[in-house]
Amino acid sequence: MISVVIPTYNGRHLLEKHLPVIAAVLDADDEIVVVDDASNDETIEWFKKEYTEKSSAILNNGTIKIFEGNFGGKKISIVLLVQNENKRFAVSVNNGVALAKGEYVLILNNDVEPFKGIKQSLLRVFADSQVFAVGCLEYQQKIGDLSSGKNLLWFSRGIFQHSRAADFSSGPTAWVSGGSGMFDRKKWLELGGFDKRFYPAYWEDIDLSFRAREKGWKILFESSAVVLHQHETTNSHVFGSNTVAAMSWKNALQFTRLHARGMQKAFYYLWQPYWLWQRSKLQ
């Protein structure tokens, strides 16, 4: 059994479009966990109309509703957590993973569609008990059909920096994206999930993979596990592009303060004036 965890904010139209595609790659004993981040677009009303509600309960952080979805005769359980207030990506995912029952959790953005066979491709990699996370090959629609999912991370000019890998063959990757990757749930909980210090977004998935690797666990990329990222919802729509860039820089510095070792820490402080100047240009 696996659990698919989907954080969503004002994404009713995306869930309506993508949930049937997600259900198509699952088995009847799998589950979908949707974490609604205090939407105001009638997401909850749509769930009640579209699926059969089995139970409901009040939690400290919101309301949990259990639905049964009928997808072409295949019935799949859908757990809907409706959060009391907007908590953004990291906390929403953490709450979804905490509720999940599967041994492995596949985390997908609400505008991501998985291709056929993705579950089997990912689970094969977890035959190695030292694997913590496996990333998917992500085709990115609407921005030139670029591919991503395999990543590089390095230290330069007093800060950790990252980019896409030069090739997309299966193997080790610097981190697994929180928008399309499968994680060992037990190991996730041991690590404490995404670090809330990276609020509201960016670098939380890099940090999680980094901490997992420090424990000796493997972070891998699987080229046969393919998803399509529609890019129909982004942080830039909510915050604006300048604010998004500033958040990314802030969290890059946060990541470096947390993980720089030895001489890296000295170089971090030596380069601080330069990076503060770079950040000031984004404000």
Average pLDDT value for the chain: 93
Which residue type does 225 have? A
Residues 109 and 6: beta-carbon distance below 8 Å: yes
Residue 185's pLDDT band (cuts 50, 70, 90): very high
> Locate tokens 């409706």: which residue?
82
Per-residue pLDDT tens digits for 40-64: 999 999 999 999 999 999 999 899 9
Q: Give the pLDDT of residue 237.
A: 52
Mean pLDDT of 194-209: 94
Q: Give the pLDDT of residue 241.
A: 63
Residue 75's pLDDT band (cuts 50, 70, 90): very high
Q: Give the pLDDT of residue 68.
A: 98
Q: Give the pLDDT of residue 278.
A: 76
Distances (CA, A) of 42 to 10, 56, 87, 163: 8, 18, 18, 37
Q: Give the pLDDT of residue 140.
A: 81
Nearest alpha-carbon partner for 167 in 217, 223, 97, 208: 223
Angle at the Cα of 202 from the Cα atoms of 181 and 43, rounded to 5 degrees: 70
Per-residue pLDDT tens digits for 11-43: 999 999 999 999 999 999 999 999 999 999 999
Whether 145 has a pLDDT exceeding 70, the answer reads no
Residue 20, H or E segment: helix 12-24
Q: Which domains does the chain have, with CATH numbers?
A: 2-280 (3.90.550.10)
Whether 222 has a pLDDT exceeding 90, the answer reads yes
Whether 160 has a pLDDT exceeding 80, the answer reads yes
Residue 236's pLDDT band (cuts 50, 70, 90): very low
Residues 93 and 103: beta-carbon distance below 8 Å: no
Whether 176 has a pLDDT exceeding 70, the answer reads yes
User: Which tokens sit at 48?
Assistant: 């009640």
Angle at the Cα of 173 from the Cα atoms of 168 and 174, rounded to 5 degrees: 135
